[in-house]
Chains A and B, each alone.
Chain A
């Protein structure tokens, strides 16, 4: 019986505490109206930039992977090889770890393809012994980034005369997308840290204003978390609001952009809004609340040392 009522008390106490934490947090948001406005503004601006960058980055990635997937290696076979030797070569190509698909194109097939493309210009080569083309393999790798490496090892194999994969374009593309991703990451990290620093300073002001209250709380025996929660909730709330605003704006803008692009730039394959917006919203909301929460924990730490 007494145990039951004890548990009941703990529950009632917990509920009462949470009512207090939330009330205090919102009171502080209202009391420090301008500072709250400023920190929400800071988070909104940083996360807006970050979100735009994210949308851009995902689209660039999407675009390059579309291009990358069309890139393949063409390995021309040495003319002296017999059919059996060509078959052996095919087997050893298929067995390479990084290779996804190997297609054999005989010189006859190649000629037919060429004639289809160029028509009359290449007529007359069809007779036995007059075909100037070579047998070749068209090879796709599992990851497009492995193309240069696989091409190099093919080059070294006996039986392969020449390897072709549009060296320049592919390497430039890979280097470019790699750079875009790194710069983007560094940029986003910088922005997130800035936002956190700013929100920490904002909340530090509200903590400063209430340092007397905090000191008294410590003297009468309030626990550290009792003191911390209102500030933490305040930070989480400011961060979440600061994230919600850019999420709404960016969702709207991206939807409009995709609709416009479908009409006017139909060749540009943009990522559809449904998937990308969900991903962006999740990231921004998590980042916003984490930034706000960490900011407030950082700013209150000093005051709890008594």
Chain B
């Protein structure tokens, strides 16, 4: 489903963030991208969202090279990718329901669809009953669930999460991971960048390890702590 081929990324300021990366991800996979701070995890994720263009190489999603997309095709790509951020990025002056509905409204969904799918998404992430609250009245974990609901509400084939548990304590993090696992079981591909070893180790999913911009390890059912042999 996703083919990252010979991708290198040099930022305009000369930083060499990724070198010659090759990754192939199948539909329905759950993939962790791990590595130390500055290893290039966020860069890889931004390239897959078409936030930046790679300096070299190609990234294919559903067989389509997204580095060749026209400017006006980028929104259509994004509709197929749900993004979750470490810092939630919610609209604090709107209710939980409106935050999730917003993602549907801006791509022109009908009111009927919104009223049907927003509660479904909230239920899937375990937020039933909190629809009328504002983000700042929620705990960090709950805010991240709202973000997750927003990412899945348009039923994308792919969810990308950049350190979704970075601001959460271990117990809350595991709750988010359960929600992600649930979404994955329903067939959605998930790519998640993190440096939380405990999470990676307990989930036992595919692990891609970056080090200084290079891919040093790619392991099915892997553990983060395992590398360095």
- Measured CB to CB, the residues of A under 8 A from B are 12-13, 16-17, 20, 212-213, 215-224, 226-227, 306
Whether B79 lies near A220 (C-beta < 8 A) is yes
Given A212-B91, A213-B91, A221:B51 Cβ within 8 A? no
Residues of B within 8 A of A306 (CB): 51
A-B contacts, 15 of them at CB < 8 A, read A17-B108, A212-B91, A213-B91, A215-B89, A216-B89, A216-B91, A216-B102, A219-B49, A220-B79, A220-B82, A220-B106, A220-B107, A221-B154, A222-B107, A306-B51
Whether A220 lies near B108 (C-beta < 8 A) is no
Docked pose: A223 CA to B108 CA in angstroms: 10
Docked pose: A12 CA to B107 CA in angstroms: 13
Q: With an 8 A cutoff between CB atoms, is B206 at the interface?
A: no
Contact of B108 among A16, A219, A224, A227 (CB under 8 A): A16
CB distance from B187 to the nearest CB of A (A): 20
Which B-chain residue is minimally distant from A216 (CB atoms)?
A: B89
Docked pose: A104 CA to B80 CA in angstroms: 87
Contact of B78 among A13, A213, A221, A226 (CB under 8 A): A221
Which A-chain residue is minimally distant from B153 (CB atoms)?
A: A220
- Measured CB to CB, the residues of B under 8 A from A are 49, 51, 71-72, 75-83, 89, 91, 102-103, 105-108, 110, 150, 154
Residues of A within 8 A of B108 (CB): 13, 16-17, 226
Docked pose: A55 CA to B36 CA in angstroms: 70
Docked pose: A213 CA to B93 CA in angstroms: 11
Whether A220 lies near B77 (C-beta < 8 A) is no
Chain B binding surface, main DSSP class: mixed
Docked pose: A222 CA to B154 CA in angstroms: 12
Docked pose: A184 CA to B72 CA in angstroms: 43
Whether B72 lies near A220 (C-beta < 8 A) is no
Given A218-B78, A220-B154, A226:B51 Cβ within 8 A? no
Which A-chain residue is minimally distant from B103 (CB atoms)?
A: A220
Which B-chain residue is minimally distant from A210 (CB atoms)?
A: B91
Docked pose: A281 CA to B90 CA in angstroms: 45
Whether A221 lies near B89 (C-beta < 8 A) is no
Which B-chain residue is minimally distant from A226 (CB atoms)?
A: B106
Docked pose: A226 CA to B80 CA in angstroms: 18
Whether A212 lies near B89 (C-beta < 8 A) is yes
**A-B complex: 10 closest residue pairs judged by Cβ atoms:** A221-B79, A221-B78, A222-B106, A220-B103, A221-B75, A223-B75, A13-B108, A217-B106, A219-B83, A221-B107
Whether B75 lies near A222 (C-beta < 8 A) is yes
Whether A223 lies near B89 (C-beta < 8 A) is no
Residues of B within 8 A of A226 (CB): 106, 108
Residues of A within 8 A of B91 (CB): 212-213, 216
Which A-chain residue is minimally distant from B150 (CB atoms)?
A: A220
CB distance from A208 to the nearest CB of B (A): 15
Docked pose: A247 CA to B154 CA in angstroms: 48
Residues of B within 8 A of A218 (CB): 75, 78
CB distance from A104 to the nearest CB of B (A): 73
Docked pose: A154 CA to B82 CA in angstroms: 83
Residues of B within 8 A of A12 (CB): 110
Which A-chain residue is minimally distant from B85 (CB atoms)?
A: A219
CB distance from A101 to the nearest CB of B (A): 62
Which B-chain residue is minimally distant from A227 (CB atoms)?
A: B106
CB distance from A214 to the nearest CB of B (A): 10
CB distance from B215 to the nearest CB of A (A): 26
Docked pose: A13 CA to B107 CA in angstroms: 10
Residues of B within 8 A of A222 (CB): 75, 106-107
Docked pose: A231 CA to B75 CA in angstroms: 19
Docked pose: A238 CA to B106 CA in angstroms: 24
Whether A223 lies near B83 (C-beta < 8 A) is no
CB distance from A306 to the nearest CB of B (A): 6
Docked pose: A219 CA to B154 CA in angstroms: 12
Interface contacts beyond A17-B108, A221-B81: sample of 10 additional A-B pairs, CB < 8 Å, sorted by A: A212-B89, A215-B89, A219-B49, A220-B82, A220-B106, A221-B79, A222-B75, A223-B75, A224-B71, A306-B51
Docked pose: A217 CA to B104 CA in angstroms: 10
Docked pose: A212 CA to B88 CA in angstroms: 11
Docked pose: A13 CA to B111 CA in angstroms: 11
Docked pose: A13 CA to B106 CA in angstroms: 11
CB distance from B113 to the nearest CB of A (A): 11
Given A20-B105, A216-B102, A223:B154 Cβ within 8 A? no
